[in-house]
């Protein structure tokens, strides 16, 4: 399978995350905020990112910009040693502070724009920012569990729970959505996708990656005979599964990959090839059994199979070799059209499973402002 890198990078638009100055309402305290998520547009979504990183050597001229002084409270909060005191020189990768504007919502449709007057981020010249990233990237939005990450700062400024929810779309033509703050989150036609959700403990690795426990894997409701020590092994990162928006397809450690794909092929040959519903209607499900038997992450349909060429469909998993970063890295393709809510206060991940089985999807948030 040829990974289509750009297709799978999930990026943010400038239209709702604006580092400029429309007039917001003073002291407006919404309990929920919303961002549009595109593919291939300016801000890369990074779950392990510890801050917002913006390219500010061009197009960045605001009178409210401020670089915190060394040893200031802002610098210690950010644990930053890159602050400096000279506002007239170039700004290479320094801690910065400016007003941030973001759309509020009551759950459906965007409401008034909310303002965070002293938002901390990192200001980077494009030569630094562009390293290893697509050319049009103007920044990275860090959603990690860290003192100045985007969810932490928004929650602490507005006084809501440090929770955010990711709903990535499979469509290249429409927008997915990220919510900050708790549900309800309504999708067309009026479905609250924030309930019911199942949940599992969420851990954060030293490098800031989010992990969940996977205790076994089932194909077609049958247990795959795996050496489960591979799943819990500390040899690969934390053990268990890392969640990554910047990894295109789910990566399995080599022996897990081999066992699962062989089991899948066997099950596939047993499946009667009748009544194909949607394009992938006849394929067996793959279930990641999480911390307990009755909490599963079911991967099926469009999250499971990838159309490589017309008429050629592959399993959307990749062999990670014998020394991967984690036993399992759940990639963007498997996250699409699932709601994932990260509750940083309770350290748990809340999951919807595919919204398509609830007759909606992540492109169904109505971004038309209410009058």
The correct pick among 58, 206, 273, 368 for binding ligand NAG (CB under 6 A) is: 368
User: Which is closer to ligand NAG, CB of 3 or CB of 184?
Assistant: 184
> How deeply is 58 buried, as exposed, middle or buried, from its count of CB atoms within 10 A (0-12, 13-18, 19+)?
exposed
Within residues 53-82, the interface with ligand NAG by CB under 6 A covers: none
Site string for ligand NAG, 174-193 (x = CB under 6 A): --------------x-----
User: Which is closer to ligand NAG, CB of 235 or CB of 370?
Assistant: 370
> How far is 340 from 342, CA to CA, in rounded Å?
6
Task: Give one DSSP letter per residue of 118-185, joined into a string.
Answer: EEEEEEE-HHHHTTTS-TT--EEEE-SSSTTSHHHHHHHHHT--SEEEEE--S-SSS-EEEEES----
Alpha-carbon radius of gyration of the chain: 21
We find the least distance from the C-beta atom of residue 186 to ligand NAG, in angstroms, to be: 10
| Residue 370 binding ligand NAG, by CB under 6 A | yes
Count of chain residues binding ligand NAG (CB under 6 A): 5
Burial 184-209 (b: 16+ CB within 10 A, else e): ebbbeeebebbeebebbbbbbeeebb
| Residue 359 binding ligand NAG, by CB under 6 A | no
CA atoms within 13 A on the CB side of 335: 31
Site string for ligand NAG, 218-247 (x = CB under 6 A): ------------------------------
We find the least distance from the C-beta atom of residue 11 to ligand NAG, in angstroms, to be: 24
The correct pick among 13, 109, 126, 255 for binding ligand NAG (CB under 6 A) is: 109
We find the least distance from the C-beta atom of residue 107 to ligand NAG, in angstroms, to be: 12
Token pair 């067996």: residue: 284
Instruction: Specify the stretch interacting with ligand NAG by CB under 6 A; choose among 30-38, 204-212, 326-334, 363-371.
Output: 363-371
For the chain, what is the largest distance between any 2 Cα atoms, rounded to a whole number of angstroms?
Answer: 70
> What 3-state DSSP class applies to 101?
strand
- Give the residue at shortest CB distance from ligand NAG: 366
Site string for ligand NAG, 137-176 (x = CB under 6 A): ----------------------------------------
> How far is 198 from 360, CA to CA, in rounded Å?
18
> How far is 111 from 136, CA to CA, in rounded Å?
29
| Residue 261 binding ligand NAG, by CB under 6 A | no
Instruction: Specify the stretch interacting with ligand NAG by CB under 6 A; choose among 17-25, 203-211, 345-353, 362-370.
Output: 362-370
Point out which residues bind ligand NAG (CB under 6 A).
109, 188, 366, 368, 370
């Amino acid at each position: 399978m040829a990974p289509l890198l750009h297709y799978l990078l999930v990026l943010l638009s400038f239209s709702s995350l604006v580092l400029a100055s429309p007039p917001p309402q003073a002291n407006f305290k919404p309990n929920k905020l919303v961002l549009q998520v595109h593919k291939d547009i300016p801000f890369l979504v990074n779950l392990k990112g510890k801050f917002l990183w913006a390219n500010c050597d061009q197009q960045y001229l605001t009178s409210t910009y401020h670089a915190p002084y060394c040893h200031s409270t802002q610098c210690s909060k950010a644990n930053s040693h890159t602050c400096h005191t000279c506002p007239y020189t170039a700004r290479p990768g320094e801690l910065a502070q400016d007003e941030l504007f973001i759309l509020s919502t009551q759950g459906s449709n965007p409401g008034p724009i909310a303002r965070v007057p002293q938002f901390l981020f990192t200001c980077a010249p494009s030569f630094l920012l562009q390293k290893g990233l697509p050319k049009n990237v103007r920044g990275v939005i860090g959603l990690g569990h860290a003192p100045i990450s985007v969810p932490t700062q928004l929650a602490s400024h507005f006084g809501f729970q440090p929770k955010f929810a990711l709903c990535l779309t499979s469509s290249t033509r429409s927008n997915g959505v990220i919510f900050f703050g708790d549900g309800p989150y309504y999708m067309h036609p009026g479905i609250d996708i924030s309930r019911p959700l199942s949940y599992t403990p969420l851990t954060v690795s030293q490098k800031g990656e989010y992990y969940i426990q996977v205790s076994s894997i089932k194909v077609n409701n049958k247990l795959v005979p795996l050496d489960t020590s591979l799943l819990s092994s500390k040899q690969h990162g934390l053990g268990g599964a890392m969640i990554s928006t910047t990894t295109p397809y789910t990566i399995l450690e080599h022996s897990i990959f081999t066992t699962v794909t062989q089991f899948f092929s066997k099950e596939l040959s047993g499946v009667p090839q009748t009544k194909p519903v949607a394009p992938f209607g006849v394929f067996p499900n793959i279930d990641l059994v999480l911390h307990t038997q009755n909490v599963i992450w079911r991967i099926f349909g469009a999250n499971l199979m990838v159309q490589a060429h017309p008429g050629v469909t592959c399993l959307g998993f990749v062999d990670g070799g014998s020394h991967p970063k984690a036993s399992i890295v759940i990639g963007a393709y498997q996250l699409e059209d699932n709601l994932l809510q990260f509750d940083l206060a309770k350290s748990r991940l809340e999951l919807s499973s595919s919204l398509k089985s609830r007759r909606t999807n992540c492109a169904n948030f109505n971004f038309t402002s209410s009058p």
